[in-house]
Structure 1
Amino acid sequence: MTQHVKKLIAGGLGLLFLILGLVGILLPVLPTTPFLLLASFFFMRSSDRMHKWLLNHKLFGPTIRSYMNHRALKKSTKVKALSTLWLSLSISIYIVEIIYIDILLIVVGLCVSWYLLSLKTLAEEA
């Protein structure tokens, strides 16, 4: 696979994850931050312009930079992410009546929660 094709694929994935992250702002079922981190990862490999735009974005940039530079998130970001995660999972578990899917959702929720809680916590800005 040529370098050009790899950049096109990475750019397409970056755009896909950016769109999913933006939709996640409106739909609490979709997690915004992980999708934006993935978008940043793929843009870093495909488009300097899009990567810089994302890193310098007023709303998204600080969280992405904190994660990339320090493997850390602000406490408020962790609380919002965990609250949204468990609210969405609770609704899904209530709606879905298949025990195996419910168990899978709980396991995924526990793994994501563990990962978020394992990240360093940055001090909130005054």
Structure 2
Amino acid sequence: MSELKRLVYLAIAGVSFALGLVGVFVPLMPTTCFMLLAVWSATRSSPRLARWIRSHPRFGPAVVAWEGERAIPRHAKWLAAAMLALSMLVLALSVTLLWLKLVLIVGLALLGAWILTRPEPAL
């Protein structure tokens, strides 16, 4: 792999990790999806960083569960469902174009259904 390509993957990993950290503190900002992207890109640029994220006590279990089983922990499912419901409520009250409101709400509902139907990690 070229050095430029490795640096691009490393930059994606760093930005994704930073956004995932923001998601820990900002309620509507996701964490796990950014950590998954960080691990994916770090695997291609910095295996040491990827190992560190996978072994991190806060981020690691969800990342490892997704990579190994395509599973989402129950608490993460309920949190995601609650945030999606709140987002749908905000959209219902704020978007004026009916077709856009419906498309967005149906899209979020389908995303929520997909998340809730994922398996939970084996213990």
Bin for the TM-score computed over the shorter chain: 0.7 to 0.9
Deviation at 1:94, TM superposition (A): 2.2
Q: Which amino acid aligns with 1:16?
A: V
Contact preservation (8 Å) 1:17, 1:38: yes
Aligned to 1:87: 86
Asked whether 1:121 is paired with 2:120, we answer: yes
Structure 1: 5+ residue runs without aligned partners? none
Q: Which amino acid aligns with 2:16?
A: F
Contact preservation (8 Å) 2:71, 2:121: yes
Aligned-residue CA RMSD (Å):
2.0
Contact preservation (8 Å) 2:42, 2:49: yes
Over 3 Å counting, the alpha-carbon distance change for 1:98 and 1:35 in structure 2 is: farther
Aligned to 1:57: 56
TM-score (norm 1): 0.82
Greater Cα shift, 93-102 or 111-120? 93-102
SS of 2:106's equivalent in the other structure is helix
Aligned to 2:37: 38
Contact preservation (8 Å) 2:7, 2:45: yes
Over 3 Å counting, the alpha-carbon distance change for 1:109 and 1:4 in structure 2 is: same
Structure 2: 5+ residue runs without aligned partners? none
Distance 1:103 1:39 in 2: 32
Contact preservation (8 Å) 1:31, 1:85: no
Deviation at 1:47, TM superposition (A): 0.9
Contact preservation (8 Å) 1:93, 1:105: no
Deviation at 1:35, TM superposition (A): 1.4
Distance 1:103 1:49 in 2: 44
Distance 2:2 2:52 in 1: 23
Over 3 Å counting, the alpha-carbon distance change for 1:101 and 1:10 in structure 2 is: farther
Runs of 4+ displaced beyond 6 Å: none
Greater Cα shift, 99-108 or 74-83? 99-108
SS of 1:102's equivalent in the other structure is helix
